[in-house]
Amino acid sequence: MSFAVFPRVVIFLVLFSAWRVCIADTVLVVGDSLSAGYGLPNGSGWVSLLEHQLAADKEPFPVVNASFSGETTAGGKRRIQGLLDRYRPHVVVVELGANDGLRGIRIPLIRENLSAIVEACQHRGAKVLVIGMRIPPNYGRDYGEKFHALFKEISKRYDASLVPFMLDGFADERSLFQDDGIHPTIDAQSLIMENIYGQLKPLL
């Protein structure tokens, strides 16, 4: 190899490596306020902690947080194609449904929306991690049980990975929730990250 060609090869390898990291290996989080860090200082939510954990484990996966407060499965369904086009993720973490449940949206409609999101991701070759949720009992036992079971149903139907309950292990610890009783505090973010990372890591 001549010295004239060598720099070109180096530049190509650097650009190719950057392309792989920025596009092919991205972890995309599509969620609501629980993932957007509602009421928390910037950079202290579980998604930011996940990015730090990946770096500590020497996993070259940049994390894109496409979550925002108030998002529903219908909103995720509308946005998912654009997000897939833009980021071409390796893994998509789908944390949606809590706002649907709090609004009493019909289970079949939530199922339809989540199915469309997972199908879109898998059609593009992305692995999917579904994050399960529960809702307060005031919506009725029947609705609550069907709502929680829905996430496992979607996971099984599409052979996607599953975190059965995002807040597992501390949901009854009032001190780990903000004044609204819904959004976890900064102290709970590491617990959420651990719940999710255990199921996410094998997908990487």
pLDDT in tens, 30-57: 999 999 999 999 999 999 999 999 999 9
Helix (H, G, I), strand (E, B) or coil at 112: helix
- Intra-chain end-to-end CA distance of the chain, in Å: 36
Whether 1 maps to a domain, the answer reads: no
Number of domains observed in the structure of the chain:
1
Catalytic residue status for 52: no
Catalytic residue status for 100: no
202 touches 161 (CB < 8 A): yes
88 touches 19 (CB < 8 A): no
| pLDDT band for position 118 (cuts 50, 70, 90) | very high
Q: Residues 54-79: what's their mean pLDDT?
A: 96
Catalytic residue among 32, 33, 67, 155: 33
Whether 197 maps to a domain, the answer reads: yes
Strands (E), 52-143: 63-65, 91-95, 127-131
Q: Residues 180-200: what's their mean pLDDT?
A: 97
Residue with more model confidence, 93 or 3: 93
pTM, two decimals, is: 0.88
Please report, for the domain that includes residue 60, its CATH number.
3.40.50.1110
* Residue 91 domain boundaries: 6-203
Catalytic residue among 85, 142, 172, 180: 180
Whether 137 maps to a domain, the answer reads: yes
126 touches 84 (CB < 8 A): yes
What's the confidence (pLDDT) of residue 15?
Answer: 47
13 phi and psi angles, rounded to 5 deg: -65, -40
Catalytic residue status for 175: no
Whole-number Å distance between alpha carbons of 30 and 131: 10
Task: Give the largest Cα separation in the chain, rounded.
Answer: 74
Whole-number Å distance between alpha carbons of 122 and 113: 14
Catalytic residue among 35, 48, 183, 187: 183
Phi/psi region, residue 53 (left: phi>0; alpha: psi -120 to 50; beta: rest), is: alpha
Whole-number Å distance between alpha carbons of 187 and 176: 6
Tokens of 165: 């309950």
Q: Residues 63-90: what's their mean pLDDT?
A: 98
